[in-house]
Structures are given as C-alpha cells and as structure tokens.
Amino acid sequence: MKILVTGAAGFIGSHSAKALLARGDTVYGIDNFNDYYEVEQKEKNAENLNVFRVDICDEAAIDKIFAELQPDVLLHLAARAGVRASIADPVLYHNVNVLGTNILLDACRKHGVGRIVSASSSSVYGNQKKTPFSETDETENPISPYAATKRAGESLAYAYSKMYGLQITCLRFFTVYGPSGRPDMAPLMFTKAIDAGETIKRFGDGTSMRDYTFIDDIVSGIVSAIDHPFNFEIINLGNNKPEELRVLISTIEKNLGKSAKIEELPMQPGDVEMTYADITKAQKLLGYNPQTTLEQGIEKLVNWYKK
C-alpha cells in the first residue's frame, strides 16, 4: 500500500512510518519540523524517510501532495501536543488540530483517499471517575484546549465518514513513551533530569496515575488499524494498567542507579488525576495485545537514552 503519514518526523509518526516501510509499504511523510521541541531530534527521527516539509494548515500544498501521490491510506498523526502548552496558546492548537485535520479530511474527499487512521487522545475523557475509560463514555467535558481540539477532530472524522463514505478509525492514545520519545513528557524528561542530577518537578503527591503505553505496542495497534478498515470507529490504544507517578519515578531511578531530587508542586490546570484504557474493543477489532510492562519499557527507554 501507499501510505501518507502526517507528523512523520515526530515520535509516534516516525516509529509508525519505519514499521510500515519495514513490512514493505510505500511510505511518504508530511511534517513542518516545528520547534515545539528540538528540531534536531525530529531530523534524526526522519532519517531515511521521504518527508515533505509542509504544514498541514497549508491547504494548497496539501492538495498538491495528494494530487501527486494519490495515496491509498492517510495515517494522520500530526498535531500540536501537550495539555499545558495548549492552555498558553489555544488558538494555535485549534488551527493545527482542528483546521489542519479538516484540510486533510477534505483532501482525502477530493482525491479519493477512502481509508484514514487518525490520532486522538485519552485527554478527551477529562477527569471522570469511572474506570477504565471506555469508548462509549461521555466525552463532552474536556478540561483543556488540547482535549477539546482532539474531540473536535473526532467529530469532523465522523461527519466526513457519514457524508462522504470515508472509512475512518480514530485511535485514542494513552501516554505513549519509549525511545526517541517527546522530551516534554515525564518518562524521558525525568530520565534526563535524574541522570544529570537535576531536580524534577512532581506535580501533586505522586499518586496521580497514567496508563503508560510503550511505543511498540502503540505501533502494533496503528498498523492493525490500517489493515482493518471500518466505516467509522473510535478505539482506545493503551496498556490497560495505570501506574502511579511515583512508581514511574522509582522505576527510572532503578534503571539509572541514581536517586531523584524532587520538588513537589500543586497539580496543574488541565491535568487529569488518572488515565486508564479499556482495551476490550481494540482486542476484539484489531487483535491488539500490549506486551510491554512499565518496567520493561523504562529499561528500553533508559538503555536508548544512555546510548
């Protein structure tokens, strides 16, 4: 298949693109290489990938790429990520995550790209008490601009599926980590700081929980979603085993052989107390079966970091 991957120089995008190439697909990427984090890391991520340096909000450029490539599948992973950054600049997040997604969906409509897999986020569930989080749960109360934009992206996907017959699967990712991960996320950020002897900022008392999901497991779910198209589905991809923040920190300490210096701060606006994926639907529809425990995943992350 010919697959077009947006956000191909990013963390999940680069891992996915390389996995698809490895199995024999023809893969093209789109990425604007923005400076949300180090561009140098994105350059490394994109090595050996065929990536167009284009912003997904550039409608004319996107239309030209679709016209030239005529891909079979769009894997849409490009986004402005991060809850806290979205609070500081909500308009930017709307423009990229909502308008950019709309531009891509419309390019698919115009150029006959009938199969789409699109990234959503566990943040759409907000701060609900019911666990684990199921795809049938209410998602009408996002507590950050980022969450609101990802929910809006799902709504756009549903509309395009119903109106234009596009086959679209939206995948709600749960706290993805691993080698070449985003440096603003706790696993890699804490690894770097603890190794350097720097103080880490722990928001809350360490009992907040996340369903940390290793990148290889997420990629397996993405590839399966590409291979199993549906008229429209929303599917969780998580590890189905939330861990406390203090457990994450202690696991990193163990693998580095160093102790963390911790500054305890109040919980931040927009942060949720827990994420916890119900993966029953992913297991049924995609054969999804995450294999990596937090201990195994952090060991791989630390080993990559040391190299």
> What would the pLDDT profile of 212-239 be if each residue is shown by its tens digit?
999 999 999 999 999 999 999 999 999 9
Joined together, the tokens standing for residue 288 give 């999804």
> What would the pLDDT profile of 114-163 be if each residue is shown by its tens digit?
999 999 999 999 988 899 999 999 998 898 999 999 999 999 999 999 99
Residue 105 is which amino acid?
L
- Can you point out the beta strands (E) in 68-123? 73-76, 115-121
d(CA 93, CA 36): 12
SS3 76: strand
d(CA 294, CA 283): 20
Binned at pLDDT 50, 70 and 90, residue 2 comes out as very high
What are the structural domains of the chain? 2-174+214-239+277-286 (3.40.50.720), 186-209+241-275+293-306 (3.90.25.10)
**Over 80: is that where the pLDDT of 72 sits?**
yes
| pLDDT the model gives residue 38 | 87
Binned at pLDDT 50, 70 and 90, residue 58 comes out as very high
C-alpha closest to that of 145 among 104, 76, 88: 88
Element (H, E) at 6: strand 2-6
**Mean pLDDT computed over 291-298:** 97
User: What are the residues whose beta carbons fall under 8 Å from the beta carbon of 281, sequence distance 6 or more?
Assistant: 134, 135, 233, 235, 236
**Over 70: is that where the pLDDT of 270 sits?**
no
> What would the pLDDT profile of 156-211 be if each residue is shown by its tens digit?
999 999 999 999 999 999 999 999 998 888 999 999 999 999 999 898 888 889 99
User: What are the residues whose beta carbons fall under 8 Å from the beta carbon of 170, sequence distance 6 or more?
Assistant: 118, 119, 120, 153, 154, 157, 233, 234, 235
User: What are the residues whose beta carbons fall under 8 Å from the beta carbon of 225, sequence distance 6 or more?
Assistant: 117, 169, 171, 235, 286
Q: Which of 146, 177, 276, 288 is catalytic?
A: 146
> What would the pLDDT profile of 79-109 be if each residue is shown by its tens digit?
999 888 999 999 999 999 999 999 999 999 9
d(CA 168, CA 11): 22
| pLDDT the model gives residue 273 | 81
**Mean pLDDT computed over 4-28:** 97
| pLDDT the model gives residue 301 | 97
Q: Which of 25-29, 30-34, 212-216, 264-268 has the lowest mean pLDDT?
A: 264-268
Residue 177 is which amino acid?
Y
d(CA 255, CA 278): 29
246 and 206 in contact (C-beta within 8 Å)?
Answer: yes
Distance (Å) of CA 141 to CA 126, 127, 134, 152, 219: 6, 8, 15, 12, 28
More confident residue, 183 or 74: 74
More confident residue, 128 or 285: 285
- Can you point out the beta strands (E) in 48-198? 51-53, 73-76, 115-121, 167-173, 176-177
Strands 51-53 and 26-31: parallel
**Over 90: is that where the pLDDT of 272 sits?**
no
Active site residue 146: yes
173 and 122 in contact (C-beta within 8 Å)?
Answer: yes
